């Protein structure tokens, strides 16, 4: 069994020896054109991709899109990756393919965060690892000039469960696997009639039978084995972002139960011995507040890798005499900044932010009166959608939903009067901002300017509380 | 209502009454609100959805100023009705976060994680 981190090697140890050999001319001829591919990743991610590869020195040329044989100048690459993430449209990516080294590098942006791909090209096939804000995993593409390209998406079961994607051409095949427990593998191989054989990296294999829009077979990697099934129609059903966002659908086939929970393990022990306070996970790091009790007038934030590596204090503990602050009430990570709420002496609450790597905090000003802090531990009061930060404020001086742009500047406020009564947790589902209050749950269309919810409290969906 | 999480199937939210915490499911397709767990005599915080399970922290009533060990991280199938949560281990009555595979939480001065599925 191997950890998902090992899939990183997919990006650099590409194109196994199992790849059919290709001559220099074919290697070059198949470098440009349209590539279609599949992606599977952590967090139940799946996706499809389409890239246009053009010789850089021929970009814009009309005589021929095919580079001269033996040419080694970098190729330009542009295209789109579509994921099964509701509310996220196709992700535009651009980059280069260097025929001399086989290196392929792409970049883009999704939900305000970077998307990157590093892989290798050989003989009309590109494979590597795609990293997105939502997860990471193997991506494989083939040149349509290989002929008969069919892209399949599906799931696998057995001693591990997860997503599978496969591309079958007239002569070659490629497949990617990502298990629900984080393991991943990818590789390529051959097709003989309906029989498909793929050698997986770092190790393993998959064999199957393709036909009538389906690919079914068995897999073996990471010490496990089982069966898989994928169809061309499942790829088409991957979330057409925006269109399905309102319904919150994530199209693709649902994963089955991942099984009993594992044994808890310690990631990191705070040297101060103070309890862990709020925490969130972003970019492979746990971002947390040190849980100083409120009467100490201290706030302190830090991060540590999800594997316990590189603990870093990003906001040192304050001097409670010189600058007393109440405890942190909510954390969210937007782009490269960490946002949090913290009360100040005098009982108002300010929005703060700091670079994810630490540095001087930015005080974005008072955003609300005092919060009922005894309620906020373990209740998310800050969320973001990759572009805006949303705050749920509930305090003795009133309640409100507020939004702020990426610079921390206030955009809109919803609340006041009797419209909201003590809302607590909030959550985004790609199209709506959902929140609860003392009597119900409701939702509001997620907009840059918060507006009155379509469902008022009187038409709310929740049940009586308190 | 305290916490709320969503997926393609339903909205899951916790409510707090005078002496009991409840966890509800409201299908997106409509229909009645369903109790995911039976009423719990205590507090429920840190509600998080990972795969097919809801994770959260429960702390029983009583005991006054209790230490972290008094509360536990638990999980229950998101499709359960009046289900009994499975206890995973001691946890602070605070946030629970996930990267989609692991569930992260505080336990005293420790940051811990548990995999959703062994």
pTM, two decimals, is 0.55
Per CB-CB distance under 8 Å, the chain B contacts of A284 are 99
Residue A220, strand partner residues:
A205, A225
pLDDT at residue number A374: 52
DSSP code for A430: S
Partner residue facing B109 (CB), from A260, A269, A465: A269
A7: alpha, beta or left? (left if phi > 0; alpha if psi -120 to 50):
alpha
The 10 Å Cβ neighbour count of residue A360 is 8
Contact A289, A378 (CB under 8 A): no
Partner residue facing A279 (CB), from B2, B18, B95: B95
Q: Is the pLDDT of residue B35 over 90?
A: yes
Average pLDDT estimate for B89-105: 90
Per CB-CB distance under 8 Å, the chain A contacts of B45 are 377-379
What's the domain range around B57?
Answer: 2-115
Residue B17 pLDDT class (50, 70, 90 cuts): low
Contact A406, A112 (CB under 8 A): yes
Contact A279 B22 (CB under 8 A): no
How would DSSP label each residue in B52-87? TEEEEEEEES-SSS--GGGSEEEEEETT-SSB-PEE
What's CA A44's distance to the chain center, in Å? 10
- Could you give phi then psi for residue B40, rounded to 5 degrees? -110, 125
Q: Give the domain CATH number at B36.
A: 2.120.10.30
A10 closest CA partner among A190, A140, A146 = A140
Distance in Å, alpha carbon of B23 to nearest chain A alpha carbon: 10
Residues in chain A, pLDDT under 70: 1-28, 56-73, 85-88, 111-112, 238-259, 294, 344-347, 371-378, 380, 396-397, 415-424, 429-431, 436-466
Per CB-CB distance under 8 Å, the chain A contacts of B117 are 180-181, 257-262
> ipTM above 0.95?
no
The total number of structural domains in chain B stands at 1
Interface test with B, best of A180, A264, A429, A439 (most B CBs within 10 A): A264
pLDDT at residue number A268: 95
pLDDT at residue number A453: 36
Residues 6+ apart with CB under 8 A from A243: none
Task: Report the distance separating Cα A415 and Cα A311, nearest Å.
Answer: 39
* CB contact B109 to A (< 8 Å): yes
Burial of A460: CB neighbours in 10 Å, binned 0-12, 13-18, 19+: middle
Contact A276 B106 (CB under 8 A): yes
Would you call A27 helix, strand, or coil by DSSP?
helix
DSSP code for A59: T
> Within A307-413, where are the H helices?
373-376
* CB contact B111 to A (< 8 Å): yes
Distance in Å, alpha carbon of B104 to nearest chain A alpha carbon: 8
Interface of B with A in 10-29 (CB under 8 A): 11, 13-18, 22, 24, 26, 28
Radius of gyration of chain B (CA): 14
Contact B16 A465 (CB under 8 A): yes
H helices, E strands: number in chain B: 0, 11
pLDDT at residue number A262: 82
Distance in Å, alpha carbon of B63 to nearest chain A alpha carbon: 17
Starting at the edge strand found earlier in the chain, the sheet holding A285-290 runs A276-282, A285-290, A301-305, A312-315
User: What's the pLDDT tens digit per position in A29-77?
Assistant: 788 899 999 999 877 788 999 999 988 665 443 333 333 444 455 889 9
Contact A444, A414 (CB under 8 A): yes
Contact B112 A264 (CB under 8 A): yes
Distance in Å, alpha carbon of B56 to nearest chain A alpha carbon: 9
pLDDT at residue number A336: 86
Neighbouring C-alpha atoms within 13 Å toward the C-beta of A320: 11
* CB contact B40 to A (< 8 Å): no
A124: alpha, beta or left? (left if phi > 0; alpha if psi -120 to 50):
left
How would DSSP label each residue in A363-380? EEEEEES---HHHHTTS-
Task: Report the distance separating Cα B101 and Cα A135, nearest Å.
Answer: 10
* CB contact B46 to A (< 8 Å): yes
* CB contact B87 to A (< 8 Å): no
What's CA A400's distance to the chain center, in Å? 29
pLDDT at residue number A74: 80
pLDDT at residue number A259: 64
pLDDT at residue number A134: 75
Residues 6+ apart with CB under 8 A from A319: none
Residue A243, strand partner residues:
none
Neighbouring C-alpha atoms within 13 Å toward the C-beta of A128: 19
């Amino acid at each position: 069994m191997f950890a998902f981190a090992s899939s990183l090697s997919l990006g650099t140890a590409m194109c196994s020896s199992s790849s059919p050999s290709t001559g220099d001319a074919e290697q070059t001829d198949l470098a440009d054109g349209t590539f279609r591919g599949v992606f599977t990743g952590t967090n139940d991610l799946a996706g499809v991709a389409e890239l246009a590869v053009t010789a850089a020195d021929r970009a814009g040329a009309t005589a021929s899109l095919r580079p001269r044989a033996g040419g080694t100048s970098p190729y330009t690459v542009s295209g789109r990756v579509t994921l099964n993430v509701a509310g996220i449209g196709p992700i535009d990516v651009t980059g280069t393919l260097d025929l001399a080294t086989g290196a392929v590098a792409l970049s883009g942006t999704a939900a305000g965060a970077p998307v990157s791909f590093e892989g290798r090209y050989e003989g009309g096939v590109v494979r590597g690892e795609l990293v997105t804000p939502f997860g990471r995993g193997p991506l494989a593409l083939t040149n349509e000039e290989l002929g008969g390209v069919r892209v399949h998406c599906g799931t696998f079961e057995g001693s591990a469960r997860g997503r599978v994607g496969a591309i079958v051409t007239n002569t070659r095949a490629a497949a990617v696997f990502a298990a629900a427990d984080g393991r991943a593998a990818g590789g390529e191989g051959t097709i003989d009639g309906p029989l498909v054989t793929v050698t997986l990296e770092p190790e393993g294999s998959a064999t199957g039978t393709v036909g009538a829009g389906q690919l079914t077979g068995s897999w073996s990697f990471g010490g496990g084995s089982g069966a898989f099934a994928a169809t061309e129609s499942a790829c088409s059903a991957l979330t057409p972002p925006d269109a399905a966002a309102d319904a919150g659908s994530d199209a693709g086939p649902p994963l089955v139960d991942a099984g009993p929970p594992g044994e808890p393990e310690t990631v990191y022990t705070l040297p101060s011995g103070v309890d862990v306070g709020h925490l969130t996970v972003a970019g492979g790091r746990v971002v947390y507040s040190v849980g100083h009790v409120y009467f100490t007038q201290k706030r302190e934030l830090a991060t540590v890798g999800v594997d316990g590596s590189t603990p870093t204090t990003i906001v040192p503990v304050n001097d409670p005499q010189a600058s007393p602050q109440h405890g942190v009430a909510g954390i969210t990570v937007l782009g490269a900044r960490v946002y949090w709420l913290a009360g100040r002496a005098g009982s108002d609450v300010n929005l703060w932010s700091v670079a994810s790597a630490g540095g001087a905090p930015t005080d974005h000003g008072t955003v609300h009166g005092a919060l009922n802090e005894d309620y906020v531990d373990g209740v998310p009061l800050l969320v973001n959608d990759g572009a805006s930060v949303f705050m749920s404020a509930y305090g003795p001086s009133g309640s409100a939903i507020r939004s702020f742009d990426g610079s921390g500047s206030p955009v809109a406020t919803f609340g006041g009067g009797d419209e909201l009564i003590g809302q607590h947790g909030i959550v985004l589902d790609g199209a709506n901002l959902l929140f609860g209050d003392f009597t119900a749950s409701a939702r509001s269309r997620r907009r840059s300017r918060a507006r009155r919810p379509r469902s008022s409290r009187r038409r709310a969906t929740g049940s009586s509380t308190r | 209502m305290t916490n709320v999480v969503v997926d393609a199937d339903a909205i899951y939210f916790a409510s707090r009454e005078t002496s009991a915490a409840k966890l509800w499911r409201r299908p997106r397709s409509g229909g009645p609100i369903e109790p995911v767990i039976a009423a719990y005599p205590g507090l429920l915080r840190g509600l998080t959805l990972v795969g097919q399970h809801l994770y959260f922290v429960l702390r029983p009533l009583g005991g006054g100023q209790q230490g972290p060990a008094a509360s536990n991280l638990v999980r229950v199938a998101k499709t359960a009705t009046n289900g009994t949560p499975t206890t995973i281990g001691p946890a602070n009555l605070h946030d629970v976060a996930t990267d989609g595979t692991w569930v992260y939480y505080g336990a005293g001065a420790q940051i811990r994680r548990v995999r959703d599925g062994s």
